[in-house]
Amino acid sequence: MSETLFEQIIAREIPADIVYETDTTLAFRDINPRASTHVLVVPKTRYRNVAELAEADAGLLADVLNTAAKVAELEGVADKGYRVVFNTGEDAGQTVFHVHAHVLGGGPLGPEARG
Ligand code: AMP
């Protein structure tokens, strides 16, 4: 079995509502959405957080951000605005230690739409 929940989703060992995929990234809906659009974007290679990803592979971080922008387009929120959030560490509320971008949008975003 894969190590983290998101590796299990990438490996199709557990189901997810996948909205977009590239060679290096996967985007799927958050199971507990905090905005009408709430999609998670993960790199297929595991890093614990965005700092580790940025240091190890800036190109892969760019892939994650480009996938986030593509998801915003597909979800119809790119023009009116959306939020991209990387919770990093316990105090930020990170619960899954496989780096992921929260893409939040679909109406004015309040403080609850923090990913
Ligand atoms: P974070 O708290 O930033 O680590 O984000 C983890 C996110 O993963 C939370 O927003 C959860 O709602 C979400 N999540 C947990 N389990 C699943 C799942 N099986 N499929 C999709 N999203 C999930």
Q: Is 5 exposed, middle or buried (0-12, 13-18, 19+ CB in 10 A)?
A: middle
Per-residue confidence at 1, pLDDT binned at 50, 70, 90? low
Ligand 1 atom, smallest distance to 16 CA: 20
Mean pLDDT (the chain, rounded): 96
pLDDT in tens, 56-82: 999 999 999 999 999 999 999 999 999
pLDDT for res 2: 65
Confidence (pTM): 0.97
Q: For residues 75 and 37, is the Cβ–Cβ distance under 8 A?
A: yes
Percent of the chain at pLDDT > 90 equals: 92
Mean pLDDT, rounded, for 26-48: 98
DSSP state of 50: H
Annotation says 100 is catalytic: yes
Ordered domains of the chain (ranges, CATH): 5-105 (3.30.428.10)
Q: What tokens appear for 66 in the block? A: 């480009």
Tell me the CA distances in angstroms from 33 to 20, 46, 69, 79, 110, one per residue in order. Answer: 17, 23, 18, 21, 13
Determine whether the shortest distance from the Cβ of 93 to ligand 1 is under 6 A: yes
- Across 1-115, the runs of DSSP E, i.e. the strands, are 18-21, 25-29, 37-43, 82-85, 101-105
- The more confident residue out of 59 and 113 is 59
Q: What is the pLDDT of residue 3?
A: 83
